[in-house]
Structure 1
Amino acid sequence: MRDERDRMADLVITDHLTGLPNRAGLEQYIERLMRAREGGAPLFSLAVLDIDHFKAINDTFGHDIGDRILVWLSERLAQYLRDGDLVARVGGEEFVIVMPWAQAKQAQKVVERVRANIGKGRVPVTDGQTIAVTVSAGLGEQRPGEAFGELFRRVDTALYAAKHAGRDQTHLAGPDA
């Protein structure tokens, strides 16, 4: 009975397609991280990544290829992160990276490495045909006393600035964003 409850609990916090934590899993992780912060743990940085032109990919190649790209990207994100970082799929083509104990400057290096490596890859879509996938990212460091929702809004605003500036780039969240 205990194993079945554990399995059901895992299903609630895990994205079924990618195997990554979903929004509920991310929120659970953030709650633990924020409690640790209250105990004196350092701040963290947060990145929100979005696949560029994902709707066009789905419209051109179909949702099965879109799903293949989501799985491919989730594998790459996990591959290029630091030990201890968390990546979650929070909806559609949007992913979140939480980098504990990373200030913005260090986190920016991580996100740029991730973004550049993703852009170098090719995803097979049909017999012999591949496509390149790029991501845009917003990034910010948690400020002392800042609630997660506030940080997420700042970073999400930076993500949209990166998309509006031409995509395939990272923008830092401003302090007043």
Structure 2
Amino acid sequence: MKSIQDLRTDDIACEALLGALDGKNKLVAIYDTSDRLVFASSAFKHAFRLNRERGEITFADLVMRGILGQCGTRIEGDNAAAVIGDAISVRRERAVQEARTDVLTGLSNRRHSMSALELAITAAVGTETPLTVALVDLDHFKQINDSHGHAAGDAVLRDFGEVCRHATRQTDIAGRIGGEEFLVVFPSTSVEHGVSAVERMRRQVMSRRVQVAGDCAIRYSFSAGVCKVETSDDLNTTLARADSALYSAKREGRNRTIAWSAPLQ
């Protein structure tokens, strides 16, 4: 089993975190992507009798050790293998979900958003169905952080994440792709209906107040650029068009939604 020293010894912050987790009464275990134990606190080692352990140990090994040695995790039921299998399945599903999710807002993260958009473009072009894409940027976000602190900025991001979840359909894709930049994808949706959907979100945001420290409630707004996907478009072309429309929205005063239109020849 690896020790704290084996875990990125050049990263002082990582070492400090693991050191803080190694409290006498804290049962903490960290596993890698292959479900192998890479760190265990002193209390965890004691509970599972790992103090003299060498070599790799997996999550399944630990659970079975607890059953056979009557230590560590208590398992209810007679079929230990089934319990372990179910637990591993749940853990892997959770790991996949966490790998796709932006921790702060609960929306898709950048990698998953871009992958989903690419798949949506391929599907739309292949089936000749409409697809609309919006880039959304929260207005004057730096001023919120500077005036009220980063905790207030985080509260605003979480609030907008909630707006996105309630304002989009299950078939839509909403993700945070940058600090205060978001991507919203509307499959089987014309650009006109996409603009209407984003405008509903914008009006909803304008009516909200976000509670921050000191009983202060702040307002915020966003600018958005919307475009439709053409049959010849790829990921980069689509994002460039939406970004061009977003730039126009900012240039014209922010707090508005603008649809991309081809430049005049």
TM-score normalised by structure 2 residue count? 0.63
**Deviation (angstroms), 1:79:** 1.4
Q: Which residue of 1 aligns with 2:252?
A: 165
154, 166, 177: which one pairs with 1:90? 177
3-state SS of paired residue (1:171): strand
**Deviation (angstroms), 1:139:** 0.4
Could you tell me whether the CA contact under 8 Å between 1:43 and 1:144 is conserved in 2? no
How many residues are treated as equivalent by the alignment? 177
**Deviation (angstroms), 1:126:** 2.8
115, 122, 144: which one pairs with 2:202? 115
Q: Which residue of 2 aligns with 1:148?
A: 235
151, 157, 160: which one pairs with 1:73? 160
- Structure 1: runs of 5+ lacking an equivalent: none
3-state SS of paired residue (1:152): helix
**AA partner of residue 32 (structure 1):** L
C-alpha deviations, 1:49-94, integer Å up to 9, x for none? 1110000100111111111110011101221224422211111001
**Deviation (angstroms), 1:36:** 2.5
Counterparts of 1:12 and 1:114, CA distance in 2: 27
TM-score normalised by structure 1 residue count? 0.92
3-state SS of paired residue (2:92): helix
Counterparts of 2:175 and 2:196, CA distance in 1: 19
Counterparts of 2:125 and 2:208, CA distance in 1: 40
Q: Which residue of 2 aligns with 1:19?
A: 106
Counterparts of 1:52 and 1:15, CA distance in 2: 20
- Structure 2: runs of 5+ lacking an equivalent: 1-87
3-state SS of paired residue (1:133): coil
119, 125, 142: which one pairs with 1:55? 142
**Deviation (angstroms), 1:41:** 5.0
Q: Which residue of 1 aligns with 2:119?
A: 32
Q: Compare CA radii of gyration and give the structure with the larger one.
A: 2
Higher strand share: 1
Q: Which residue of 1 aligns with 2:94?
A: 7
Q: Which residue of 1 aligns with 2:15?
A: none
Counterparts of 1:82 and 1:4, CA distance in 2: 27
**AA partner of residue 174 (structure 1):** S
Report percent identity of matched pairs.
33
